[in-house]
Structure 1
Amino acid sequence: MTQVIACIDGTDVSPAVCDYAAWASLRLTAPLEFLHVLDKSEYPTESNLSGNIGLGSRESLLDELAALDEQRGKLALEQGKLMLDAARQRAISQGIENPGSRQRHGNLVETLTEMERDIRLLVVGKHGSHLSQHIGSRLENVVRTLHRPILITTARFKTPERFMLAFDGSATTRKGVEMIASSPLLRDLPGHLVMVATDSAANREQLSGSQATLKQAGFDITTALVEGDVESVLCDYRYSHAIDLLIMGAYGHSVIRRFLVGSTTTSLIRNASVPILLLR
C-alpha cells in the first residue's frame, strides 16, 4: 500500500514536516510513516583510524578513538528513535491512526529509492542554510532521483487554503493538472493556473482546457496569462492572491521546469514562504 513518507532529522523544520505530512495523510486517507536516515558518511558503522595517526602511536589510542566513534553512532541512533517517537505522538494528536516509523543507517537517496514503490507522497523540509547551490545537494538528489510527488515544506506549518499551479502547457504540467483533478489532496481548495508566456490564442486555449478539466473535477479555478520574468511573475502573483501552496513540474526543458537546474529555482525555493509541491 502506498503511503505518505515524512523525512525528519531533528532540525527546526521537522515539526512542520510532521504537520504537513499529517495534513496530507488525512487528505489522502493514506497511511503515514516517518523516516529517519542516519547518514553513513557522518556515522560510519565501522571506523578505520590507522591512517589518521602518525607512526609510533599507541594501539590503545586507536582503540579508544574507535570506541568513541562507536558510542557516538549509538547515541545518534538513540536520538533518532526518540525523534521518531515524538513525531508519531505529534501525528496521533492530529488524528492519525497508528503512524509508522522507520530508521535506517545509510544514504537518504538510496533508502528512498528502495522505498519508492511504497511512496504516494514524500514530505521533506527546506533547510535554508543548505541551499547554497541549486536546491541543496541532498534535496536536489532526491528530487532528481525519485519519480514521486514531493512536498517541500517551510519551517512553519499553515493549513493550505488555496494553491497555484505554475502552468507552461507542457506534457508534464498537463499531467499535473490530471493528477490534481484525480487526487483528494487539494479537493475543495480554490486554485489558480498561472502561465507566464506570450498572450496568444494558443496559450489561452491551453489554459482554458486545463481549467475545464479541473472544473469538471469540482475545483474552483482561476486562470492568468502573464508576460514577464517567470520567477518575478509567480512570486508577485502568489503574494497578491494569498497563495499558500505552490505546485510545479519537476525537471524538463520548458522555461518553468528549467528552474530546477539553475539559480532561478534556488532563489524561488529559498525565498518562498509557502511549501512547494513538485509533481513528476
Structure 2
Amino acid sequence: MNVLACIDASRSATGVCDYAAWASLRLDAPLVFLHVLDHSSFPVHGDLSGNIGLGSREHLLEELANLDEKRARLMREQGQLMLEAALERARADGVAEPVSRQRHGDLVDTLQELEPEIRLLVMGRQGEEADSLGRHVGTHLESVVRTMHRPILVTAGEFRPPRSVMLAFDNGPSTRKGVDMIADSLLFKGMPIHLLMVGADTKDAWEALNAAKARLEQAGHQVEAAIRAGEVEATLLDYEAEYDIDMIVMGAYGHSRIRQFFVGSTTTNILARTTRPLLLLR
C-alpha cells in the first residue's frame, strides 16, 4: 500500500511533498503523487444556440469549444510540470522511486476509487481555491476527510521533521485505535508521545489514560499523560505550543453532520488554527 500525496498549484504543495516523502521513508512504503484535473474547474457552456443570433452562433460556439480544449490542455501540462517537480523534490528528500499519476474527474471520487491502495493520504490544509482565505480549510479537504476511511495527514506550513507527537485522547473508538496505530506504526517509532485528555479530572479518566500510556510504553515510547480542563480547541493548541509539539493525532468528525452544523467541529477548528501537521483517524 502507498503513501499517496495530493498535489496542486497551491502554496501548500511543497509541504505536502516533504511530509509525504518523510512518511514514505519512515513507513518504507511506496510514494505516489496524484494530480486530479477536477471537471468543476472548467467552465460549462450550455446550449447557446437559442441565444446567439445574426448568423454568428456556429462561429462563436466553435471558438468557445476551441478555448475550452486549449485550457484543458494547458491545465494538463501544468499538472504534469507540478508532478515532475514533486518527483524531483521527493528524490532530493531521499525517496528512491516515487511515481506520479494524473487523473480526470472529481477529487473525492478519484480518492475513493484509489482507497484500497492507500496506506496514508497526505493533503494540504488549503487547495488552490483557498490560498487567499487565510487559515480557512479548503472545501475539497473537508469533503475528503468526511468520505475517506484511511489516515489523512494534513499539512500546514513548511516541513519540519516531526520529533514529538500529541494524541488528543478522549477514550473514543478512533483515539483508542490511534493508540494502537502509534504503538504499532513505524511512522512514530522512537518518538516521545504526549497523551492529552480535555475534560474532568476523574478516576475513570485516569484509568483510560493510564491504560493508553501503558500500551505506548510497552511499544518503547516515552509518554507524558495529562488531563486539562477548558475549551477543547484552545486547550489542545495551548498544550501544543507549550511543549513545542510537532504533530497532533486526533479522531476526525466524531459527531453527526447535523450537530456540526449547529456547534461546529473540533476537527475543522483545529485544522483552521494549527500551524503544525494534523494526522486524522477515522
TM-score (norm 1): 0.92
- Counterpart-to-counterpart distance in 1, 2:97 and 2:237: 38
- Counterpart-to-counterpart distance in 2, 1:250 and 1:224: 21
Match of 1:88 in 2: 87
| 1:52-201 to 2 correspondences below 5 Å | 53-56=51-54, 57-127=56-126, 129=131, 135-201=137-203
Judged with a 3 Å threshold, the aligned counterparts in structure 2 of structure 1 residues 51 and 41 are, in CA distance, closer, same or farther, namely farther
Match of 2:13 in 1: 14
Judged with a 3 Å threshold, the aligned counterparts in structure 2 of structure 1 residues 267 and 171 are, in CA distance, closer, same or farther, namely closer
* Partner SS for 1:233: helix
* Partner SS for 1:277: strand
Residues 11 and 131, structure 2, Cα contact 8 Å, conserved in 1? no
Residues 125 and 152, structure 1, Cα contact 8 Å, conserved in 2? yes
| Equivalent residue in structure 2 for 1:235, among 234, 237, 258 | 237
Aligned residues with identical type, % of pairs: 53
- Counterpart-to-counterpart distance in 1, 2:269 and 2:233: 9
Q: Quote the offset at 1:195 in angstroms.
A: 0.1
Q: Aligned partner of 2:48: which letter?
A: S
- Counterpart-to-counterpart distance in 1, 2:213 and 2:136: 32
Q: CA RMSD, aligned part only? A: 2.3
* Partner SS for 1:223: strand
- Counterpart-to-counterpart distance in 1, 2:200 and 2:103: 48
Q: For each residue in 1:82-106, what CA deviation from the matched residue of structure 2 results, as whole angstroms up to 9, or x when unmatched?
A: 1101100110111111111000111
- Counterpart-to-counterpart distance in 1, 2:213 and 2:86: 38
Q: Aligned partner of 2:177: which letter?
A: K
Q: For each residue in 1:187-239, what CA deviation from the matched residue of structure 2 results, as whole angstroms up to 9, or x when unmatched?
A: 11111000001111100010000000000011111000111111111111110
Match of 1:203 in 2: 205
- Counterpart-to-counterpart distance in 1, 2:169 and 2:275: 20
* Partner SS for 1:41: helix
Whether 1:35 aligns to 2:34 is yes
Residues 165 and 248, structure 1, Cα contact 8 Å, conserved in 2? yes
Q: Aligned partner of 1:89: which letter?
A: E
Structure 2: 5+ residue stretches without partners: none
Match of 1:251 in 2: 253
Structure 1: 5+ residue stretches without partners: none
Q: Aligned partner of 1:141: which letter?
A: S
Residues 38 and 104, structure 2, Cα contact 8 Å, conserved in 1? yes
Q: Quote the offset at 1:126 in angstroms.
A: 1.2
Match of 2:24 in 1: 25
Residues 134 and 265, structure 1, Cα contact 8 Å, conserved in 2? no
Moved more, 146-155 or 261-270: 261-270
Q: Aligned partner of 1:170: which letter?
A: G
Q: Aligned partner of 2:40: which letter?
A: S
* Partner SS for 2:40: coil
Q: Aligned partner of 2:111: which letter?
A: L
Judged with a 3 Å threshold, the aligned counterparts in structure 2 of structure 1 residues 114 and 52 are, in CA distance, closer, same or farther, namely farther
- Counterpart-to-counterpart distance in 1, 2:50 and 2:164: 55
